[in-house]
Amino acid sequence: MGRCSLAVILPVLSVMGVQPVALPTVVLSTHTGGLGDPARLDGSTYGAQALEHYRALGVEFDCIYTGYLGGEAQVALAEKAFALWPAAKKVVDPVMGDNGKAYSTVTPALIDRIRALCQAADLILPNYTEAQLLLQRTPQTEPLTDEAAQALADELTAIAPGAVVTGLPLGQYIGCAGSGSDRFLVKKLHIRRSFPGTGDLYGAVLIGSLLQGNALSAAADNAAEFVALAIQNTPPEQDTRFGVWFEPLLPRLCPVAWND
């Protein structure tokens, strides 16, 4: 409940022409942002068995995309997937914190383990807070210049070949910056409403766009545009804990061939 994580990622990738195979690292009754203490089911044991089953079937994956990892055992599961499918594109969303703070369940040891996972990735998708944690800095929330935002993304190439940093405070704008061979800065007017799951929505659209053959800069722009539209499409009276109304916008993501 709450339009985040797999509840957002699966429909987006599906409508973009990708066949997603979900491997839940942990099942929660709700997200953790203001809906009480959720029921939890750890998926580490199941996940390891599922990976072995896929390997026995001879399945090959084009991309392995990791999101929320609730502990070191779940990071190990992602590491196992990377090792079993070395040719797959590896994308890590290092979910560790936001708004200048690490989440209460994120320990220094877990940050180190996620940083190591990022070093095995082709592309990482940290928000501003997470980028600073990866670079072993105390997170700040002050506005950045465009040049400082681009420099922050560039610094992450010491960890992974490609990075897109989201949620960058750029005065009246909110932005994302990409590093590596395709450097860019995408800016949108700052919509002063906050919802859970928008990072997952952004990541799913970006990855779907990449798998459709778009350049990283174009994929990031597609994702930023879709998230902005989803926020604008959500009625002002909607309880923000239940996420953005992205579902009516899904037809915008369909490949042309699927519409013919």
The answer to whether residues 168 and 149 touch, using CB atoms and an 8 Å cutoff, is: yes
Q: Considering the entire predicted model, what is its pTM?
A: 0.95
| Terminal C-alpha separation, the chain | 34
Per-residue pLDDT reduced to its tens digit, 208-247: 999 999 999 999 999 999 999 999 999 999 999 999 999 9
pLDDT by 10-residue block (mean), the chain, 260 residues: 94 97 92 89 93 97 95 94 98 96 92 98 98 97 96 97 97 93 90 89 98 96 96 94 96 75
- Give phi and psi for 61, each to the nearest 5: -110, 140
Place of tokens 């061979």: 181
Cα separation of 97 and 33, whole Å? 12
pLDDT tens, 88-115?
Answer: 999 999 999 999 999 888 999 999 999 9
The Cα–Cα gap between 162 and 156 comes to 8
| Residue 176 backbone dihedrals phi, psi, to 5 degrees | -135, 145
User: pLDDT at position 215, please?
Assistant: 96
Cα(134)–Cα(127) distance, integer angstroms: 10
Torsion angle of the four alpha carbons 28, 198, 142, 221, in this order, in degrees rounded to the nearest 10: 150
**What's the Cα-to-Cα distance from 255 to each of 17, 18, 150, 230, 249, rounded to whole Å?**
7, 10, 31, 19, 14
CATH number assigned to the domain with residue range 6-24+93-259, chosen from the 4 options 3.40.50.300, 3.20.20.60, 2.60.120.260, 3.40.1190.20 = 3.40.1190.20
Question: Can you tell me the distance from the alpha carbon of 48 to that of 50, in angstroms, rounded to the nearest whole number?
Answer: 5
